Every structure is written in C-alpha cells, then in structure tokens.
Amino acid sequence: MNQTTAKLMDGTAVAARLYEQTAIRAAELRETTGVEACLATVLVGDDPSSATYVRMKQNRCRKAGIASRSIVLPASTTTAELVQAIRELSDDPAVHGILVQHPVPAHIDERAAFEAIDPAKDVDGVTMHSFAAMAFGLPGFQSCTPGGIIRLLDEYDVNLAGQHAVVLGRSPILGKPVGMLLLERNATVTYCHSRTKGLPELVAQADVLVAAVGKPDFVQGEWLKPGAVVVDAGYHEGGRGDVDQEAAARVASLLTPVPGGVGPMTIALLLAQTVDAAVALSGPGVRHAAEDTRVQ
Amino acid sequence: MNQTTAKLMDGTAVAARLYEQTAIRAAELRETTGVEACLATVLVGDDPSSATYVRMKQNRCRKAGIASRSIVLPASTTTAELVQAIRELSDDPAVHGILVQHPVPAHIDERAAFEAIDPAKDVDGVTMHSFAAMAFGLPGFQSCTPGGIIRLLDEYDVNLAGQHAVVLGRSPILGKPVGMLLLERNATVTYCHSRTKGLPELVAQADVLVAAVGKPDFVQGEWLKPGAVVVDAGYHEGGRGDVDQEAAARVASLLTPVPGGVGPMTIALLLAQTVDAAVALSGPGVRHAAEDTRVQ
C-alpha cells in the first residue's frame, strides 16, 4: 500500500486566477466596446439551496464586473411560460449568457427549457448543441463542471492522452460531457453507472477517475489504483464527496478535495464563458478565453 | 480455447424484414394521406464508390416504394454552395429525408453541410442534434450504422444491461454514437481508439465488442473473451472486416459476418427512418417505427 499523501488539486486557487482573468477581460470589453457582459439567471420555484446557488453566481458576477439579470418565476410556472421567458432572454441583445438553475420543478420539461437557450448564450453548456460540440471537438460552450474539471487537470499537468479515464455517472450535464471531453483529449474512456457490474475492478483500472454518482463516500480507497488521479465531483452535507477522501488521499497521486476542488471551478467557468459569449456577440477585438487551453 | 463456432448474426435477413415493414408503412402513408415518402441524396464529386453507394440507396428506395431525388454536384462545389443546396432540400415540403453522401471533397466543411440538414429530415443521423438526442435518449433519428447495430443485437436477444461493451473507434457517425446508444441501453461502455494503451487487455473484457477502426483484420481472435458478442462494422476489399473473422468465429458466441452483417442494416435503417420522417412531417395516422424497439 502506497502511504504517500496525495497532492490536493486546489480548485479555489485555480478558480481565483480564472476569476481575475475574467474580470480583466470583462473590463477590456467594456473599455473597448462599451459592452457590459451580462448573465441572466432563471430560477423557478422556492427551493432554498437553488436560491443560494443563484445568489452566489450573482455575487461572483458583481465582483468580476459582469452585470447580472435575475428572473424568478413561481413554482407553478408551466413549461410553456418558462420556455417563453428563456426565449425572450435569447432574443435580448443586452443578455450574453443564460443560466437556468437546475433542478426545475418536476412538472416542467427541463430539456425544453434548456433548448430555448440560444446556443450562442449557452454559457452553462446544457443544450444539445453544446453537448455535441463537446463530443465532436467543435467550438462551443462546455458544461461548467466538466469544463472546470478539465481546466483543473490541465493546471496540474495531467497528460490525459492514452490514459484510462473512468467516469462514474452519466448525467447529461456532468458524466456524459466529461467523458466526451476526456475522449477528445485522447483518453480511453469508460462510463460506469448504477447498472455496471464489477465496479471496483473497473475503478481499479482508472489512471484518472471522475466520480459523479451523487452518493457520499461511495468510492472506497481500496478500489483505487495507487497513483491514480481522483476527481471528486460530489458534494454532500458535512463536506463529504462521492469519494472516501481520507482513504483516497493515501492512495491517489492527485485528488480534488471536497470542498475546494471541483466546486469552485464550476462558477468560475460559468463567468469566463459569459465573457466569451459577450465578446463573440459583440464583435472582434478582445481575445477569446477558449483560445487558451489553460488559465494563465 | 472454446472451439464452438459462433452463431452468425444475419444482417441480410433482418434487413430484409425491415425493408418489408418499411414498404408496408410507405404504402400505408401513401394510401391514407397521399404523401409519397421521399429521400433526397446529395453527392459531391465523382468518387466512384460514393456514386455506387448512392445508387444502391436509390434502388432500395424504389423497391420500398419510397421516392428519391438525386442532387449531384461537381467536385469544385464550395461549402457555401453545398450548404445552400441542402437548405433548399430542408425547406422543400416534398422532401422528407436528406442524405449527404460521406465523404465530401476535402475542401468542403462537412460539418457545415450536415448542420444545414433540418433535424426533422436528418434520416442518416449525422447532425449535432441527432447525436445529442441519441446520447440523451430523446426522440430523434439515429445514425444509421449505430442504429442498425442496436436493432441487430435486439433481434438476437442480446441483453445489454450491465454488460461491458467496448467500442473501438470514435468517429462522429459510428464510434461515438454507437457508444451512446449502448450506454442508453445500460451497458458499461469503454471507448478505445488509436491512442489507447493496452488494447488487447481492454478488448478481453468486452462482453460486447463493436469494432469500427477501419483496418482489415485488426482485432485478433485471441484478444476476445470467450463467448463475447462481436460486431464487426468494418468493410475492406476482399470482404474482410475489422475483425479476424475466422478466428473470432471460434471464440465469440455471436458474430456479425462481413459481408452480410452490419452493412445491410445501415441502408435498411436509412429507409425506415425516411418513412418515420415522412409520417412525422405529414401529420398523425400512421404508426412510427421508433415506437418499436425491434423489427417485427
């Protein structure tokens, strides 16, 4: 058993540098074109943690010099009403990015809501267009958690080519896109999920593991290959992740802590992509962040 | 070594039944609505094998009572001209399905051409919309070879849930979508490709192998898990596949032959989806083939 303590991937620090760069780009855009990058958030219903997430995103926008517009709709909103509200934002030239806070109430067709977002404003990377762009290596916005994970791996010089990456989870905004982004980086990619048989043996093959199962402490330390790179995309009460962090720290070479690993990267990428959208929608003259593969 | 001879999956026979069913549905549509299902084929340049493929598809249409329209453009066609021609077909109410014969000449942006296809007429399943629909389990058209593979596996009662499916290849119209369709069927899915390390060991784990690498006899019999289901999506001169067929037949439980396995299913699904599109675009009254998970 390898007793070395894993190096922790400091998402808070990497996100802070990305925020800084984003604020500079937002200011450059304002100075050169007069355009103020603007993120519209759409919140349906009164789930307190969703409201908190939206507030966090708006606060971060303010600090980065990005305008935000807040749309709050009652829990009784219909799919058609929500789609209409999002379409208006898609058509509004003063809005550059649109975030629909997940989850929406159960009676709403979330996919219909997502597809009402103009792909040019899909800074949260939730549309079918954005997913296919990620899968095919085409220009477009990345889903924020998957894109944040890739940036974090880049920051820690993880060379993905030829590595076996195992993704636990297959949601449309996390598991599926992160697997496609890893495949685009030439990793061999295995998707595991609730129906997978022999999960510990598959996890044991992972040079890079991305855990996105939504179950606290699900991944056991003894499942891991010694020296693996472990990305824990979970967040549960009491600061637990999807991985048994204490055990993983004794086996992995690199590990994202919870909190302070993947989480901070998600909002940081949302804001970076909002400025990307504003730049793209406001004409040339400001460098596009997507041209860089890593945070400067 | 298991000396049992693999059962061959007879794509020709399964495709014949699908053609029959498609012809009946095309006739029903014509009788109930007066609408003649119509596939438009777009061929750019003078590659003889591409011309042959297009002719095969048109012949099959005629036999199934599906109208076809043929657009042939010179090799010097620009992307803008091709996009314009495809947009006209997308806007033409008499056309229900559009097939752009792959590959187009190297100077053309094939993705731009594909994206000019209205997703409602993307019966070859090549648009970004269709890919995301396959990945997310949403209504839409399947890429024809991947969709044909799944239908063939269904016909031979292969239960994919919990099985480890290994896909060799990651092209946008074969490897990537077939992996997503297998994942939707609850298989554990591993994508391998030219940069994968330790390929034989990964192939050895496959309960279901899909070979789509484009190299004759690439997959060796000794790599295979005894009893594996082997789908060979390759076709090379002299009737070779991507798998060493003779060796695989001694190890696999089920095997698609070359020719006569995957190949025939591709055009059969193209035609079935053309009638699906015609039905959907012509209003209700005729049953949609996608409602069935298997050929009757």
A163 is catalytic: no
Q: Is A170 helix (H, G, I), strand (E, B) or coil?
A: coil
Chain B contact for A131, CB < 8 A?
A: yes
The CA distance from B17 to B106, in Å, is: 37
- Please give the pLDDT value at position A272: 98
- Please give the pLDDT value at position A286: 43
- What is the token pair recorded at B90? 């997308």
- B30 among annotated binding-site residues: no
Domain that holds residue A207: 143-263
- Please give the pLDDT value at position A131: 98
The CA distance from B167 to B174, in Å, is: 10
CATH number at residue A222: 3.40.50.720
Mean pLDDT of chain A: 94
Q: Is A114 helix (H, G, I), strand (E, B) or coil?
A: helix
Amino acid at A26: A
Q: Which of residues 52-111 of A touch B (CB under 8 A)?
A: 111
Across the beta sheet with A67-73, the strand order is A67-73, A38-44, A97-100
Residue A219 to residues A111, A145, A186, A203, A255, Cα–Cα distance (Å): 30, 19, 25, 9, 13
Per-residue model confidence as pLDDT tens digits over B124-150: 999 999 999 999 999 999 999 999 999
Chain B contact for A192, CB < 8 A?
A: yes
> Same domain, yes or no, for A51 and A113?
yes
Confidence of residue A15 (pLDDT cuts 50, 70, 90): very high
> Same domain, yes or no, for B35 and B121?
yes
Mean pLDDT of chain B: 94
Per-residue model confidence as pLDDT tens digits over B102-117: 999 999 999 999 999 9
Query: Given a cut of 90, is residue B284 above it in pLDDT?
Result: no
Contacts of A180 in chain B (CB under 8 A): 176
Sign of CA dihedral A178, A182, A183, A189: negative
Helix, strand, coil percentages in chain A from 3-state DSSP, rounded to 5: 45, 15, 40
- Please give the pLDDT value at position A284: 59
Contacts of B111 in chain A (CB under 8 A): 136, 138
Confidence of residue A7 (pLDDT cuts 50, 70, 90): very high
Residue A123 lies in a domain: no
**Positions of E strands within B49-149:** 67-73, 97-100
Per-residue model confidence as pLDDT tens digits over A30-68: 999 999 999 999 999 999 999 999 999 999 999 999 999
Helix, strand, coil percentages in chain B from 3-state DSSP, rounded to 5: 45, 15, 40
A185-A183-B50 Cα angle (round to 5): 105
Residue A265, Cβ neighbours under 10 Å: how many?
29
Selecting among A21, A58, A118, A124, the annotated active-site residue is A124
The CA distance from A31 to A70, in Å, is: 25
- What is the token pair recorded at A119? 């792909």
Q: Which of A136, A170, A197 sits opposite B183 (nearest CB)?
A: A170
Question: Would the CB atoms of A188 and B197 count as touching at under 8 Å?
Answer: yes
Contact B279/B26 with Cβ under 8 angstroms? no
Per-residue model confidence as pLDDT tens digits over B25-48: 999 999 999 999 999 999 999 999
Residue B27 to residues B39, B59, B113, Cα–Cα distance (Å): 15, 17, 31
Contact A98/A117 with Cβ under 8 angstroms? yes
> Same domain, yes or no, for B250 and B206?
yes
How many beta-carbon contacts under 8 Å exist across A and B? 88
Contacts of B138 in chain A (CB under 8 A): 111, 128
How many Å from the N-terminal Cα to the C-terminal Cα in chain A? Answer: 36
Query: Given a cut of 90, is residue A223 above it in pLDDT?
Result: yes
> Same domain, yes or no, for B159 and B67?
no
The CA distance from B181 to B150, in Å, is: 8
Q: Is A219 helix (H, G, I), strand (E, B) or coil?
A: strand
A57 is catalytic: yes
Chain B contact for A136, CB < 8 A?
A: yes
Residue A10 lies in a domain: no
How many Å from the N-terminal Cα to the C-terminal Cα in chain B? Answer: 36
Contact B14/B265 with Cβ under 8 angstroms? yes
> Same domain, yes or no, for B152 and B215?
yes
Residue B18 lies in a domain: no
Q: Which of residues 232-271 of A touch B (CB under 8 A)?
A: none
Comparing alpha-carbon positions, the chain B residue that sits nearest to A191 is B189
Query: Given a cut of 50, is residue B259 above it in pLDDT?
Result: yes
Residue B190 lies in a domain: yes
The CA distance from B268 to B220, in Å, is: 29
> Same domain, yes or no, for A108 and A189?
no
Query: Given a cut of 90, is residue B287 above it in pLDDT?
Result: no
> Same domain, yes or no, for B111 and B147?
no
Nearest to B289 by CA among B3, B9, B22: B22
Bind-site residues of A for NADP(+): 169-171
Query: Given a cut of 90, is residue A289 above it in pLDDT?
Result: no
- Please give the pLDDT value at position A45: 96
Comparing alpha-carbon positions, the chain B residue that sits nearest to A180 is B176
- What is the token pair recorded at A291? 């041209």
Q: Could you say which DSSP state residue A291 is in?
A: G
The percentage of residues in chain B with a pLDDT greater than 70, rounded to a whole number, is 94
Contacts of B179 in chain A (CB under 8 A): 191
Confidence of residue B294 (pLDDT cuts 50, 70, 90): very low
> Same domain, yes or no, for A150 and A249?
yes
Confidence of residue A290 (pLDDT cuts 50, 70, 90): very low
> Same domain, yes or no, for B113 and B154?
no
Question: Would the CB atoms of A197 and B164 count as touching at under 8 Å?
Answer: yes
Contacts of A190 in chain B (CB under 8 A): 188-191
- Please give the pLDDT value at position A288: 45
Crossing angle for the helix pair A144-155 and A262-281, to the nearest 10 degrees: 110
The CA distance from B29 to A98, in Å, is: 42
> Same domain, yes or no, for A148 and A102?
no
- Please give the pLDDT value at position B236: 94
Residue A270 lies in a domain: no
Contact B140/B129 with Cβ under 8 angstroms? yes
Over residues A80-109, the mean pLDDT reads 97
Query: Given a cut of 90, is residue B290 above it in pLDDT?
Result: no
Confidence of residue B286 (pLDDT cuts 50, 70, 90): very low
Question: Would the CB atoms of B131 and A132 count as touching at under 8 Å?
Answer: yes
Residue A268 lies in a domain: no
Residue with tokens 């996890």: A203
Per-residue model confidence as pLDDT tens digits over A123-174: 999 999 999 999 999 999 999 999 999 999 999 999 999 999 999 999 999 9
Over residues B207-233, the mean pLDDT reads 98
CATH number at residue B41: 3.40.50.10860
Instruction: Pick the range with the lowest mean pLDDT from A145-154, B15-24, B212-221, B284-293.
Output: B284-293
Residue B24 lies in a domain: no
Q: Which of residues 193-232 of A touch B (CB under 8 A)?
A: 193, 195-198, 202
Collect all residues with Cβ–Cβ distance below 8 Å to B77 and sequence separation of at least 6.
B44, B45, B105, B108
- What is the token pair recorded at A211? 């855990």
Over residues B278-284, the mean pLDDT reads 87
> Same domain, yes or no, for B258 and B147?
yes
Q: Could you say which DSSP state residue B6 is in?
A: P
Distance of residue B35 Cα from the nearest chain A Cα, in angstroms: 30
Q: Is A222 helix (H, G, I), strand (E, B) or coil?
A: helix
- Please give the pLDDT value at position A18: 98
Count of domains in chain B? 2
Contact A235/A245 with Cβ under 8 angstroms? no
Q: Is B251 helix (H, G, I), strand (E, B) or coil?
A: helix
Query: Given a cut of 50, is residue A2 above it in pLDDT?
Result: no
- Please give the pLDDT value at position B159: 97
Comparing alpha-carbon positions, the chain B residue that sits nearest to A196 is B162
Residue B13 to residues A105, B97, B156, B267, Cα–Cα distance (Å): 47, 24, 12, 13
Burial class (CB in 10 A: 0-12, 13-18, 19+), B283: exposed
- Where would I find the H helices in chain A? 11-33, 48-64, 79-91, 110-115, 128-136, 144-155, 175-184, 199-203, 245-251, 262-281
> Same domain, yes or no, for A41 and A107?
yes
Amino acid at A210: V
Residue A14 lies in a domain: no
Query: Given a cut of 70, is residue B2 above it in pLDDT?
Result: no
- Please give the pLDDT value at position A134: 98
Question: Would the CB atoms of B202 and A189 count as touching at under 8 Å?
Answer: no
Question: Of the residues A69, A103, A118, which one is the last residue of a structural domain?
Answer: A118
Nearest to B148 by CA among B295, B296, B1: B295
Collect all residues with Cβ–Cβ distance below 8 Å to B55 and sequence separation of at least 6.
none
Q: Beta strand pairing status for A254-255 and B254-255?
A: unpaired
Q: How far is CA A165 from the centre of its chain?
A: 18
Question: Would the CB atoms of B162 and A188 count as touching at under 8 Å?
Answer: no
The CA distance from A258 to A238, in Å, is: 10
